[in-house]
Structure 1
Amino acid sequence: MTRYVPYSERVGATPPPERMQVGELSDELRRRLSNWWHRCSNRIYTHGTGYNCGYRFYDDRTHQGSQICYTEIWGRYQAEFPEDGRGFFDQCDNLFRTGSYFDVMNTLHFFLEMNFPQGYLVEQLERLLVDYNSPVTWNDKEKTLIPHSSPEEGQTIVRALASTKEGSFNGSHTHLMASIDHINCNNPADSIRESIHAVESVCRQMTGEKTLGPALSKLKKNHGLNEALKQGMDKIYGFTNTAQGIRHPILEKEEELDLNDAQFMLGACAAFCSYLINKLAPAEKQSSEP
């Protein structure tokens, strides 16, 4: 079920849901997450009957999943776990209302990865993240939240993950996934390193060169890599490394980097990986055939 668009929004009297950047959660999205969680209530806890008339978890799977979320995702003590079901429900609702961005995203990632609660409720959560302009969307194939600054950038990253996996560029795929994980864990400097390593891995695999600079030159000479694109990636590479592959000083000042830097680098490098694989890799393969 897609989002209902109010009449006032349709005629331009009120704005659509605001676009958020990675690290931001709007009040509207928090409210929608809380409302979704309340729709899940009958799959989280229930009322007992007779002498056992208090609250209890819906079933054993829900009980176990809630324990894992409480102790492993939230980092709480097992001894403090609310065994009645309603206590866990209320704490999670409070998290959606007031918790930090990364605490909320860690919890959502757990729910989506574990299909928790279950079925159509998880599908509703996936749809909600799209409809209300969340800065992340769920990729079920990779079982991860994809951070993005726009839906179009999110699609670019998903295409790059598919291209690297289907094209057997396993090293690049691993680096892209690591870059995503570092953004989701608020480690922008590490994410930037992994993004550029993803491009470097594709270029090295296609050319046999050991570093990105010579590999780009070889791609330009042998396979017609556009000069402007080559220069652009050379400059992006210079943001993180010298020509000899030594760490650039900017990455030693990690406090100057933020998630905006990391998100830009992930989007740019993902797009370049897709371009290299889909446009130049076929030519590379043909040139090596007898």
Structure 2
Amino acid sequence: MPTFSQRMGIKPVSDLVQLESMNDDLRTGLWNALDRDLFVKDRFNDSDFTEVLWRYHFKLPVDSRPITNTGFGMSYTRVWDQIRKHFFECVWNDVYDFVEFVLRCYPNDREIRRSIETTLARENSGYRLIDGHLSPISDPGEVREVALAIEDAHAPVKEHLRTALSLLTDRKNPDYRNSIKESISGVEAMANVVTGDSKATLGDALKILERNGKLHPALKEAFSKMYGYTSDADGIRHALMSEHNLSQADARYFLIVCSAFINLLKVQAA
């Protein structure tokens, strides 16, 4: 809820969706989530984490960490001063890189994931967590579709969607063209599973579902036409992949729609 000062126009309301920026509230919220729900917990190990951070994220000599021997043990105070300085002074996308790195180090820690997800939503970030990636999808329904398709899919389908998501969410070198290609390939891989035919297309799968009474003809026709836009048969996909102005919005759309296709096929073919 906006504060009194925000409602009265005395203080600005946060950006509706922060996609290529990060205000102080979001940056601070992410730090507080990491600090309060992970870094200060008994389960957290300063030595192990900072060594991995120096080696694989900062890519600095591990022995350059400013660890102090107090005579009663090792102090990591100066190490954390350096980490905190980096977090609050780096550009916005480096903050997200840091958050993703931490989550990869603790893939099974549900508490920190929930805390990060809550912070992203509360501070109007344009990104949400999906399969460990910060994805530019902020609608809860769309997030659920993509997450469900990735988490509960056959191996080939999962691999295509994970690759599509990874290419879309690379904040330094996104590859929207190949992200779209991988999303479409995920649908085709699911069609192979549904039909039991390694060469089957989505059209083949839809026909089987319609024949078995599991898909309404009108719905089947709508999906067939939509998928036809990207099919190889008439060269449209080739033309699509040749476009030089493919955007994040294009790749995002295909990932969401293809995930929805996959989830429908899983339910209807069950």
TM-score range, shorter chain: 0.7 to 0.9
Q: How does 1:66-85 map to 2 (within 5 A)?
A: 66-78=50-62, 80-83=64-67, 85=76
Secondary structure at 2:45's aligned position in 1?
helix
Provide Cα deviations, 1:50-93, integer angstroms capped at 9, x if missing partner: xxxxxxxx999322312322331234454654445445434443
- Tell me by how many angstroms 1:126 deviates: 3.8
- Tell me by how many angstroms 1:143 deviates: 4.6
Secondary structure at 1:257's aligned position in 2?
coil
1:17–1:133 CA contact under 8 A, matched in 2: yes
Distance 2:210 2:269 in 1: 13
- TM-score, normalising length from structure 1? 0.68
Provide Cα deviations, 1:197-255, integer angstroms capped at 9, x if missing partner: 121112221124422333334433444534554455445545544227895233234x4
Q: 1:36 to 1:208 in 2, by over 3 A?
A: closer
Q: Does 1:181 align with 2:177?
A: no
Which residue matches 1:193? 181
Secondary structure at 1:109's aligned position in 2?
helix
Distance 2:48 2:112 in 1: 18
1:41–1:89 CA contact under 8 A, matched in 2: no
Q: Does 1:125 align with 2:151?
A: no
Q: How does 1:14-93 map to 2 (within 5 A)?
A: 17-20=14-17, 23-36=20-33, 43=40, 61-78=45-62, 80-83=64-67, 85-93=76-84
Q: 1:202 to 1:60 in 2, by over 3 A?
A: closer
- Tell me by how many angstroms 1:264 deviates: 1.2
Q: 1:16 to 1:271 in 2, by over 3 A?
A: farther
- Tell me by how many angstroms 1:281 deviates: 0.7
Which residue matches 2:262? 273
Distance 1:237 1:98 in 2: 45
1:126–1:138 CA contact under 8 A, matched in 2: yes
Distance 2:155 2:113 in 1: 29
Distance 2:209 2:187 in 1: 13
Which residue matches 2:72? none
- Moved >6 Å (runs of 4+): 9-16
Secondary structure at 1:248's aligned position in 2?
helix
Gaps of 5+ in 2: 69-75
Secondary structure at 1:193's aligned position in 2?
helix
Distance 1:163 1:181 in 2: 18
- Tell me by how many angstroms 1:27 deviates: 4.1
Provide Cα deviations, 1:158-187, integer angstroms capped at 9, x if missing partner: 2333442xxxx3322222222222222233
The alignment-based identity, stated in percent, is 27
Q: Say how many residue pairs are matched.
A: 256
1:207 is matched by which residue type in structure 2? T
Q: How does 1:150-229 map to 2 (within 5 A)?
A: 150-164=139-153, 169-185=154-170, 186-209=174-197, 210=199, 211-223=201-213, 225-227=215-217, 229=219
Q: Structure 1 residues 82-91 or 209-218, which shifts more?
A: 82-91
Gaps of 5+ in 1: 45-57, 283-290
- TM-score, normalising length from structure 2? 0.72
Q: 1:59 to 1:172 in 2, by over 3 A?
A: closer
